Structures are given as structure tokens and as C-alpha cells.
Structure 1
């Protein structure tokens, strides 16, 4: 009798620990991934501002002043710090690699902008140096890195089951706005007369930015609803395409608002590729999220 009572007492004392272990086995808390999403928004805004100042600096000599250099340095530090926060959810080796890349690219850019603004080099003396290579990598290559990290991190989410309709509809609405403004920008419909003050870059920049943020939250909720490896892979692939193209579109539109992009014949190709990629990625992400949720329910 004493042995039976002792075993029952041991089971009673062990049951809270078992419940705690089962709760911890579910995965990281949803708040951690919300912090990751907010860190991406900070990185995205700082990165777009960083690129806009870089374009302005390449065209306008007045943009090479010390205040502009300090602003660009601060944005580079903010973008790099936010990227490190996003990478904290990765395993140790990838996290270390992303941290080193963020410090190398944005740290070098931050220091170079302050030093370069103090020296004030003449435009005819500007040349492609190592620091300027870091600027170009941060502007045109790092979006692929941060999108891949974000997709990987969101794949580990164990958040509560939430509706994907809101972020999905917002994403599609922004894509439609981008597509229509892009058609007007490249005069697809020649019979439409636009006012002189209208610039398609404004709605494209804003809509692509909102679409990118909506894709982040849709990606998080869709990954939670994914019930099979196949749909999880489809969600990750479409989310990666949507994030990269949305970031590039916002970068291109903002760059053309503040300066002339020195890309020559590549500008229409980049525009059309980013718009097409955003459209395909957003539709694929929305459909994959909807199908995965219906299969799970």
C-alpha cells in the first residue's frame, strides 16, 4: 500500500514537469518570430534609405556632404544590426556566417561613408574601391541573403493557427497596384493621358514595401499551416521570390525618385523582372497558403 501511494505521489509530482516539457517541445514562442518580423521591417526601411542615399551620392555632388555621410552610416549600422537580430534564430554556424557578412558589408560601408564625406573627393576622382564594392554588395546582393535567412527562420515557426486571409488579400491588392502603375509608367496604355505631377514611382515604392511586409506575415502563418514537406517547400520558394522582388522594386522606385539610376538598358529589364517575379511569387504564396490551410483543416 505504501509503495502504491508513493508511486501515485511520484506521478503527481512529475506531471507538471511533463506538461512543461511538452510545451517546450512545441517550438519557439510566437513572440520571437514577431520580433524577427519587426527586425526585418527595420532592416528593410534602413536598407532602402541606405540605397537611396547611395544613388543620390553617385549623381549629386551636394549629397556627398558630412550630414549625408553620417545619415548613410547610421542607416548602414541599423540595417546590419537588424540583420544580425534576424539571424539569431538560425543554427550556430549559419548564424555566425550571416553575422560576419552583416558586420563586414554594413560596418565597412558605415565607416567608409563618414571617412569619405570628410575627405570630399571630387567626382572625377571617384573609382571603384573595396569599400564601394561593399556598398554594391549591400545594395544588390544582400537582399537575396536576408530573404533566404528570413524564409529559413520562418520555417521553424510554431505559432498559433491564425488566418492567412488578411495578409494574403493585402499582398494581392498591393501587387495589383504595382502592376497597374508599372503599366502606366512604361506607357503600356498610350491612350491614357497622365498629369504632369504624377509619378508612378511613388505608388510602386509604397505598394511594394507594403507587399513585402505582408508577405513576411503571410509566410509566417502559412508555414504554421503547412502540413506536408511539399507545401512547405512551395511556400518557402514563393515567399523567397516575393521578398526579393518586393525589396528590389521598392529599391528601384525609391532610387528613381531621388536620382537617376546609372544602369542604362538594364533598368527596364530589372523593372519588368521584379514586377513579374512579385506577381508570380505573391500569387503562388497566396495559393499555397490557402491550400495548405484547407488541407490541414
Structure 2
């Protein structure tokens, strides 16, 4: 075997739960494509349709439905196991592979179909808060694909169950255009002191948001921080929130704004 393929196979053998023989069969069948090979090696033993029937079924216990959901998510990429491997790769805890191969692994995606998205959401009942929370967290890398469920997710963001509400806010921030459409909801929650920090954390993974809109959205908090900073110094009660705001703005092309108002406060 070509040495470059052997290095990739070594990586696959290290990360895959399968036997050496099974890994080699997958690797050769995918014509030495490490992305497809690693993705398939992480699949559960059960068939996707069988897992969907358990996830959708009303005759199964919550623990069984949750377990089926965890396994279903492995059929898409990125997924929790795949991302854990990518984190180890970034931290240099794995077999070394070529930088271009590592970059291709980081970019690898296999999305759920529109029909599958509908199945995931249609199976949820009014009392399935735990299952819904886990589903929304599991789909956070598929914001564009869940756009058809935006209104449903907005409703979940207003739930009394905080875990469900937070998971919904996190996913909404990753649906193209949904942040602007959900602005009244975010503003309402941001004005609640007990929810403000968590709402800002939910926006940490958002990308592609309008920095001008974001800055105007955060301006009340920034103004309050400026007032406290002049009285109590930069390290006041709103310092943690300001660090999150700094990060959100920087992630969306508005980082310079943070330095602008902080320099004004210092003056």
C-alpha cells in the first residue's frame, strides 16, 4: 500500500471501534477516502430505519428513544464521536496525518434529508422536553437543514423547561436569517437578568450574523457596562457578559466595535 494511504489507514485503525479487517475492507471499498471510511466506521450496528422506528414509537421508554436518537445522529456528520476525534486531532493526540487530509476531515459533512428532518420533529410530543432538547443539540451543526422547522424551534425557545429553551436558542442562532426574525424573543430574554448570560452563551456558535444588528442589539448592555465601568472599573458585574459580547461580535465581523467602546470607557 502507498505510504500516504498507510498513514491514513493507521489513523482509521486507531480511531475506529471496528476490527482491523473491517477497517481495511471499508478503507479499500471507499478507495482510500479517510473521510468516508471514518464516518462509516462510527455507524451503529443497527439499521437507520429500525432506529427511527424506536425513536418515533410511543411504546418505547424515554431511555430507549434517547439511545436510538444518539445512534441516529451518527449517520450524519459532524456528529459527537466524529467531533471528539477532530478535537483530539487538533490537539495532536492522534496518529499524525497530512495537514490537507486533516483539513478535509474538519470540513466533512453528511446532512440529514428534508424527510428525515421532518421525522425527527414530527415524532416529538408535548411532553418530550428531554428528547427535544437532545435532538436540538444534536442538530446544531445543521442549521440550514432545519430551517423548515424554524417556527417550531422558536416555540421551543419560549418553553418553561430551560434546557429545551437554551437548546432552541442555540440552534436558532445557526439557522440563516433566523436571528433577525427571532430578535423580539432574544431581546425579551436578554432583558431578564437571570437569563442574560445564558442567552449570550447560546450565541457563541453563531456565524454570519449582521454585526450592525448585533451591536444595536447589545447596546443596552454595553451602555450599562460603560456606566458601571466609570464607577467601579472595568472588572464589574457585567464583565463576564461583555467577554461573551466581545466574542460574538468578533465571530461575526464586528470585533472592532468592542475596542472602540472600551477605549471610550478608559478615557
| TM-score by shorter chain over 0.5 | no
TM-score, normalised to structure 1's length?
0.26
Structure with higher helix content: 1
TM-score, normalised to structure 2's length?
0.28
